[in-house]
Every structure is written in C-alpha cells, then in structure tokens.
Amino acid sequence: MKPFFLTLVALLATFPLFAQETPDNEVKAYTGEVYVEHQGSYTPSFKIDGSKARVRNVILLIGDGMGQGAVNAGMYANGGELTLTNLRTIGYVRTQSADNFTTDSAASGTAYATGEKTNNGYVGMNTERERIPDIPEILSPLGYACGVLSTDDLNGATPAAFFAHQSARGEKDAIWADLPGSSLTFASAGTQAVFEGQPLSTQDAIRSRFSVVYSPDDPAVASSRRLLYLPETVSLERGNYLPATTEMAIEYLAARGKKGFFLMVEGARIDKYEHGNEFDGTVKEMLDFDKAVEAAVRFAERDGHTLVIISADHETGGTILSRATPDEGYAAGVFASKGHTPMMVPLFAYGPRSREFSCVQENSDVARKILQLLGGKK
Ligand SMILES: [Zn+2]
C-alpha cells in the first residue's frame, strides 16, 4: 500500500501544474471597462406581437457584430435593460457563408438582402458571380418604398448588399456607381466627404436620381421623391444621428410607399470596436443601436402593421461580459478574437407574425420570410 500511496501523493502534487497551464492564445485579449449613463428602455404593449394581422411594413435592424456578448454588455451597462431585451419573440441566426464557416459582412449582408448564401466578399452576387435580386428590387415594383440607413459608409458591405452587385466588397467606387440604378427610395450612410470623393460622373448620376441633402432639415427633403441624406460624420461624435434618422426614414418611406415600406437600419460600428477590442466603444455603440431599435418599436406599436426584426450579420471579437454593476452603469469585458467568430447570433422581433422568426434559422431564411410576408416572390 505504501508505494501506491506515494505514487498518489506524487500525482496529486503535479496536478496543479497541469491545471495552471493555459492555452497559448495568439490574440492578446484586451480587457476593458466602461461607465455609461442609464438611458432607459421602452417596453411596448405586446398587443400586436405575434398577431396574424397583415404585415405592411418591415424594419430590419442589423447590429454589425452584435453577438450575445455585445447584447449582454450593453444591457448590464444600461442598468440591466434594453428595448431589445424587453421584446418577447426571440430566435437565433446561423451566419455561415457559402464558402467559409466564418462569414464576413458582405456574404451575410447579401444573405439578409437576397435570401441566398454567397461567398465572403461578394455583395449582391451569388457564388457564380451572377446578380441576385435584392429585397428593394423585388419589393419596389410591388409598390413598396425601400430604404437603407447605416453608421458605415454607404459602400460598407451591409448597406451595399441592399443596392449593389459587386463580387469584390472593396470596389468602393463601383458600389457607389450602383446606387443610381438601385431600387432605393431612401438612403443615409457615410459622409458628405466620402460622397464628394466619388468621381464626378458618379455624383452626377446619383444627383439625377436622388435629392442629395446634408441636413435632415433641408427643405428639399419634403418635396423629394428619392433621398440621399449624408451626415458630416458617422463616428461616435454623430450624436443622435442613428435613432433620429431611423425616425426620419420611417416617416419618409411611410409617406411614399403605396403598399408599405421596407427599411434596413445598420448599427455598423459595434463590429468596428470589437475588431479593435475596445470594450467601451462596443458598449456605447450597442446603446446607440438600441435607441434606433426603440424608434422602430415605437412606430410598430403605433402602426399595428409593422414587423420589426433585430439581429446581427455575425458575432465579432468573441466578446464576453466578465463583470458588471448595473446600478452604476459599470461593465467590464474581455475579447477572445480580433476578427469575426462563427457563433450564432440572437434575433429579436416585435409585431404581427413575429413568431415566424422564433426559431434557429439561417440568415438567408430571414430574408425569405420577410419577402413571403410582404408578398414578394423568391
Ligand atoms: Zn467586421
């Protein structure tokens, strides 16, 4: 018995050495923290939620890179609440692209915009590099007014997927040049400077089809038939641009769609802060995005025929909330990656027929269901 006992002691003595071994991460994870002011949240009545009423309008809000980590970080930093997490219809979305287990924003944006999976880097094109009709192209001939709004540049992959057809997301000029031929009635993204940096021929083509304004108070807005509104900045200094322009876009499209409207709103910069492993920026962008969600849900509540869907194109950063004191607006987190991850992303929905999204689904399924609800064939 004695040798066995000694062996056991020897084994136990070495165990902590093994237990302390940690994986050698390539990524040097940044741990950040933030204090934010409680911005509150909005809870709708749920009277229309999940009803069988006809869906006239769809507002799709995409938080770029908004995985569970970003939602948790934003919610607990904001006293434990978000308008997003007040909703009752919850699902999950799988984000894989046609050629990569971990998608980029181009392939996932295209899936949300067309109902078809494609390769990373492709915008509005299938794997054979053929144009795929996007939701605005399918719905506008039916009498719907369609719009996109983003805190990215207009040539950013997510807004671009709703109007452009290019097999290289980096072809920024070509993406801008696709705008005049698009089916959009409303677009707001990027900046005045980016627009003015486009070739004059592109600017002229856009101006021939859209009224281009640099302020939401420009008198040209009311009389215009198609609008491109370009803010001065889309960085965090933009103030309430995203929620205010969400309201503006809803009003603009509701007045022009004979049958209804479709609006895509992107909170683009959650992803950008996660790429930089900047926890405070991730939380602030998440909270700004939630205000846009609130604007959409408030409209849906008043309207009764509007379905609001909120999800993400992919997770970014392997973002984890590690600690929080919700009452103090304090949250701390850590990142496992500087890139995208293949994790499923949460989906929230509010309005008639919302329950159809309460399942585990592909990103491409979300677009197909939207088109079915609005009577567009796919
Ligand atoms: Zn990204």
Are 347 and 311 contacting, i.e. CB atoms less than 8 angstroms apart?
A: yes
Strand-strand pairing, 320-325 and 330-334: antiparallel
325 phi and psi angles, rounded to 5 deg: -125, 90
- Residue 175 CA to ligand 1 center (angstroms) comes to 18
Mean pLDDT for the stretch of residues 132-159? 97
**What is the SS3 assignment for 144?**
strand
Distance 64 CA to ligand 1 centre (A): 7
Helices vs. strands in the chain: H and E counts, helices first: 14, 15
From ligand 1's centre to the CA of 105, what distance in Å? 6
Is residue 348 packed enough to be buried (19+ CB in 10 Å), middle (13-18) or exposed (0-12)?
A: buried
Is the pLDDT reported for residue 219 higher than 70? yes
- Dihedral sign, Cα of residue 65, residue 123, residue 135, residue 96: negative
96-111, pLDDT tens digit by residue?
Answer: 999 999 999 999 999 9
Contacts of residue 328, defined as CB under 8 A and 6 or more positions apart, other chains included, come to: 35
pLDDT confidence tier of residue 19, bands split at 50, 70 and 90: very low
pLDDT band at 296 (very low <50, low <70, confident <90, very high): very high
**pLDDT score for 343:** 97
Each residue of 138-151: pLDDT tens digit? 999 999 999 999 99
Q: Ligand 1 centre and the CA of 235: distance in Å?
A: 16
- Over the chain, what is the mean pLDDT? 93
Protein residues with C-beta less than 5 angstroms from the ion ligand 1: 271
Ligand 1 centroid – CA 103 distance (Å): 9
What is the mean predicted confidence (pLDDT) over 201-225?
Answer: 97
Domains in the chain, CATH or no CATH each: 26-373 (3.40.720.10)
Q: Give CA–CA dist 339/308, Å, rounded.
A: 28
